[in-house]
Amino acid sequence: MPNDQVQSNSSLIPVKPEPTKVSDKPPAASPEELMFFEKVKKYIANKHSYNEFLKLINLYSQQILDTYSLVKKVQNFIGQNAELFDLFKQLVKYDEKDEIVQNTANSRPRVDLEGCISYGPSYRQLPQSVK
């Protein structure tokens, strides 16, 4: 039975997937963004400080910093220049309503357990006002 070989169907032959093309170039910046960064570079006028500013932008682009945190940190660099700072907030689409509000629990007045009815050494019936 030499002719008992399995016939292959062309649809069963695995196809090597084509590699996806990954662009090494970052997305192009708009002229408005380029102008903004040039103005910031001139305003800061210190290479080290400008690099720190760019590091913050990088953390934001990697979604490590949220918009609110970014704006608060960038304020240290360009907050004194209202025009630049407002332009920055427009570029990152910052809304003043984005501020984080700390959620704190309501404090209750302490209950005087000595005046409560005792149900054993460690249990007390609480007054109706506390329930």
Q: What is the pLDDT of residues 79-104, one digit of tens each?
A: 999 999 999 999 998 887 756 666 77
Are the C-beta atoms of 127 and 111 separated by less than 8 Å? yes
The number of helices, as runs of H, and strands, as runs of E, in the chain is: 4, 2
In the chain, % of residues over pLDDT 70? 78
**pLDDT interval class at 2 (50, 70, 90):** low
Work out the average pLDDT over 34-43.
Answer: 93
Give per-residue pLDDT as tens, 59-85. 999 999 999 899 999 999 999 999 999
The residue assigned the tokens 């008992």 is: 4
Rounded CA-CA distance 124/34 in Å is 69
Provide φ and ψ at 44, rounded to 5°: -70, -45
pTM here is 0.55
Which is nearest to 85 in space by CA: 40, 42, 34, 54?
Answer: 40
Are the C-beta atoms of 88 and 56 separated by less than 8 Å? no
CB atoms within 10 A of CB 22: 5
Could you give the domains of the chain?
29-97 (1.20.1160.11)
